[in-house]
Structure 1
Amino acid sequence: MARFQHTVTLAPVPRRWLESCVAALHDLAEGTDVEGARLRLPDGRLLPGPVLAEGRHLRPGARYRPVNEKDGRPDPDQCVTVLAWDRRRETALEVVTVDDDPDHPARLDCVLGLTSAERPREVSLSATLHPSGGKRQKHLGGTGRAHLDLGRWWQATGHGRHPARAPLSGTLAHTLVRVTVTVVPRPAPDGSWRVTVKARVRGRSVARPLLPLAAAVLGHRARRAFAEALDRAAAAWNTQVPDLVRKDGERLRAELADALLDP
């Protein structure tokens, strides 16, 4: 098993701002009307992109597909399905993308869940890559899962007792390796977040006896690459987030609506 750990400093995200953004996004979706299969924004503008392909708007089972630019028909290779839509309980969406590349055909299934929109408590994400090129391609597949407990996150970034478990955790399972990640924030004196990321890598199948050797030979280089990747991600966060949190939910909703109108 190989272990990695690195700490970065992030610009904070206010809790009330995040909750207002979640509410604004739900308001935008619920204020959108359906005309035939086309979607019309609350201000009356028609969306040029996704159409309602099946079911009733925002009801479980509703499916939305982007429009194919070549023939103007719904794209069968991409689909967003509503699994749940209840602001008080749960919002869940499934996104499926099919890649028909003749050399590496595959299907990617992602499920995003939120509990709940009125008082966000938990966020979950799962993604599974299904290669469809036969047994020779099976090593390209894998599954990833992440879970964010917002209650523990706000507790950890405050000045009270620290939560017993990591607020953010995830796993990545492959035929040869399994990676477990935990993310724990702490408040810094200047109000920013000091976020520690820990990762454990375990070998599976034929890779199990080879991982200790690889860790001994490449351990320092791998840890440096791990730290550099997190530093780059933190730099991008600190460049974009401070400007973002200055915008209220209504402004973000308007900007999202404008973005959806750009084909």
Structure 2
Amino acid sequence: MARFRHTVTLAPVPRRWLESCVAALHDLAEDTDVEGARLRLPDGRPVPGLVLVRGRHLGPGAQYRPVRDRDGEPDADQCLTVVSWDRRRETALEVVTLDGDPARPARLVCALGLTSAERPREAWLSATLRSSGGKRAEYLGGTGRLHLDLGRWWQATGHGRPPSRAPLSGTLTHPLARVSVTVVPRPAPDGRWRVTVRARVSGRSVARPLLPLAAAVLGRRARRACAEALERAAAAWNTQVPELVRKDGERLGAELADALLGP
């Protein structure tokens, strides 16, 4: 088993700002109209490149597909499905992407959920990649899961009693290895967040006895690469987030609407 730990300092995200952004995104989606299969923003502008192909807009089971540039038809290899849409309870979406490579076809399923939009408490993300072609196809896929307990996160970033469990946790499972990650924030003296990331890697199947050797040979280099990646991510966060939090949810919703229209 190999272990990793690294701490970065991040610009904080106010709770009320995050909640206002979640509400604004839901407002934008709910105020979008449907004419046949086409979508129109609240101000009447059509949304290019996305159509409703099944069900009622935002109803459970509603399916949307991007439109192909070459012929204007829905892309059969990509689909977004509404699993649930209830602001008081749960919002959940599923995105399926197919890779039709004859030599190595693959299917990627991503799911995103939130409980609830009116007062966000939990969020989760999962992804599953499966390949069905070629030799050793079972080694070309895997699953990943992330779970964020927002109540514990705000508790950890405050000045009260720290939570008993990590607010953010995740796993990445491959036929040969499993990676478990926890993320714990705490307040820094200057008001920012000190965020500690811990990871644990364990071998599976035939790779189990090889992991100690790999950790001994490559462990230091791998830890350095992970630490550098986290520092780059923190630098990007600290560059972009302070500018974002100066905008209210309504303004961000308007900017998202403009982005949906393309250049």
Q: Secondary structure at the match of 1:238?
A: helix
Q: Does 1:94 align with 2:94?
A: yes
Counterpart residue number, 1:199: 199
Percent identity for Structure 1 against Structure 2: 83
Per-residue deviation, 1:134: 4.5
- The letter for the 2-side match of 1:107 is R
Q: Does 1:105 align with 2:105?
A: yes
Counterpart residue number, 1:188: 188
TM-score by length of 2: 0.98
Q: Does 1:137 align with 2:125?
A: no
Q: Secondary structure at the match of 2:136?
A: helix
Q: Secondary structure at the match of 2:87?
A: coil
| Structure 1: runs of 5+ lacking an equivalent | none
Q: Secondary structure at the match of 1:117?
A: coil
Q: Does 1:46 align with 2:62?
A: no
Matches within 5 A, 1:19-58: 19-58=19-58
Q: Does 1:212 align with 2:207?
A: no
- The letter for the 2-side match of 1:196 is T
Counterpart residue number, 1:85: 85
Q: What is the alpha-carbon distance in structure 1 between the residues aligned to residue 47 and residue 225 of structure 2?
A: 42
Counterpart residue number, 1:120: 120
Counterpart residue number, 2:165: 165
- The letter for the 2-side match of 1:74 is P
Q: What is the alpha-carbon distance in structure 2 between the residues aligned to residue 233 and residue 99 of structure 1?
A: 29
Which piece of structure 1 moves more, 100-109 or 251-260? 100-109
Query: How many residue pairs end up in the alignment?
Result: 263
Counterpart residue number, 2:7: 7
- The letter for the 2-side match of 1:7 is T
Per-residue deviation, 1:100: 1.5
TM-score by length of 1: 0.98
Matches within 5 A, 1:238-257: 238-257=238-257
Contact persistence 2:103–2:134 (CA under 8 A): no
Contact persistence 2:98–2:107 (CA under 8 A): yes
Per-residue deviation, 1:235: 0.7
Per-residue deviation, 1:151: 0.1
Counterpart residue number, 1:73: 73
Counterpart residue number, 1:174: 174
| Structure 2: runs of 5+ lacking an equivalent | none
- The letter for the 2-side match of 1:97 is T
Q: What is the alpha-carbon distance in structure 1 between the residues aligned to residue 152 and residue 9 of structure 2?
A: 19
Contact persistence 2:104–2:134 (CA under 8 A): no
List structure 1 runs of 4+ shifted beyond 6 angstroms: none
Q: What is the alpha-carbon distance in structure 2 between the residues aligned to residue 49 and residue 120 of structure 1?
A: 30
Q: How far does the alpha carbon of each residue in 1:85-122 deviate from its partner, in whole angstroms, 9 at most, with x for none? A: 00000000000111122343211100000000000000
